[in-house]
Amino acid sequence: MSEPMRIYEGEGDQLLDDSRVAQKIILLPDTTETKLPESQPKLRIMWGQHLLEDILAGRYRSLVCGVNAQDNRRGIIGQVAALLPTSQWDHSGITAHCQRLVQESHVSVVKFDMDAVEVLGILRPASRAWLTTEDLAVGFKMVAEMIRRRPQRWPTASVSFLGGQVNRLHNSHDLEPSFEAVLRIMYEAGYAGDVYPAPAMWECAPTTMFARFPFPASLEAMRSGGF
């Protein structure tokens, strides 16, 4: 009889038993037994990865995030601009640029060349205090087309647009949507990059999650009462 597979050296598997970990997500496989890859690309969900470190390491050529025309100091774009040594942008310049391009009632996608990475910022209309899911859908359709027309923007990553302070996202009920709803918007718009979950999602334990989207059909079967 073969020995059980181990992950860690020594006693690590026992010491890191999931019952001792407070912040956790139970990750499930979403693939079938077939060895043939799927023809339609899926969104990869980067559980446990650090977005800023991955950008600094040069893993992506474009980043999708929210921007606004008021203050971008606390947003991810301000952090990226401050950390990249060859970026000529700062939070005040980002905000001033957004103020010149913001539209009254239509969402915009604003480009920021930071040398190591190009940020595609989804800018909410001036008439709204937050981004709506409808805005996000329009924005990601533009983003997907921009990446398609310029393949050098690949590989690409996006934030989840959830848990934001200034760049909040609301659905039609003025509530923050689910992560699944955001992933569906991105996927249906034609975006096929990596998505970084909000750090607060680790508080969703003991919820199980998948590493790619669309999720497997078995999830919908369970929601409809099947097994």
Is a pLDDT exceeding 90 seen at residue 200? no
Is a pLDDT exceeding 80 seen at residue 211? yes
User: Is 125 part of a structural domain of the chain?
Assistant: yes
Q: Are 191 and 62 in contact (CB under 8 A)?
A: no
CATH number at residue 115: 3.40.220.10
Is a pLDDT exceeding 60 seen at residue 33? no
- Give pLDDT tens digits for 122-160: 999 999 999 999 999 999 999 999 999 999 999 999 999
Strand partners, 66: 122
User: Is 61 part of a structural domain of the chain?
Assistant: yes
Give the number of C-alpha atoms closer than 13 A to the C-alpha of residue 44, restricted to the C-beta side. Answer: 8
User: Is 63 part of a structural domain of the chain?
Assistant: yes
The separation between CA 51 and the C-alpha centre of its own chain, rounded to angstroms, equals: 9
Q: Are 169 and 133 in contact (CB under 8 A)?
A: yes
Nearest to 153, CA basis, from 110, 116, 190: 116
The separation between CA 8 and the C-alpha centre of its own chain, rounded to angstroms, equals: 29
Is a pLDDT exceeding 90 seen at residue 162? yes
> If you write DSSP's letter for every residue of 60-104 in order, what string do you get?
-SEEEEEE-SS--SSSHHHHHHHH-TT----HHHHHHHHHHH--S
> If you write DSSP's letter for every residue of 148-191 in order, what string do you get?
HH-GGG-SEEEE---S-SSS-EE-TTSSPPPHHHHHHHHHHHT-
- Give pLDDT tens digits for 56-110: 999 999 999 999 999 999 889 999 999 999 999 999 999 999 999 999 999 999 9
User: Is 14 part of a structural domain of the chain?
Assistant: no
Would you call 194 helix, strand, or coil by DSSP? strand
User: Is 129 part of a structural domain of the chain?
Assistant: yes
Q: Please report the pLDDT score of residue 166 as a whole number.
A: 84
User: Is 111 part of a structural domain of the chain?
Assistant: yes
Is a pLDDT exceeding 80 seen at residue 14? no
Domain with 83 in it: 40-223
Would you call 169 helix, strand, or coil by DSSP? strand
pLDDT confidence tier of residue 2, bands split at 50, 70 and 90: low
User: Is 175 part of a structural domain of the chain?
Assistant: yes
Sign of the dihedral through C-alpha 41, 43, 45, 51: positive
Q: Please report the pLDDT score of residue 6 as a whole number.
A: 67
Q: Please report the pLDDT score of residue 51 as a whole number.
A: 96
Q: Please report the pLDDT score of residue 99 as a whole number.
A: 97
User: Is 53 part of a structural domain of the chain?
Assistant: yes
Is a pLDDT exceeding 60 seen at residue 186? yes
Mean of per-residue pLDDT scores for the chain: 88
Provide the number of structural domains found in the chain.
1
Please give the residue that has the higher pLDDT: either 179 or 9. 179
Tokens at 152, concatenated: 């050098």
Q: Please report the pLDDT score of residue 144 as a whole number.
A: 98
Q: What are phi and psi of 3, to 5 degrees?
A: -75, 145
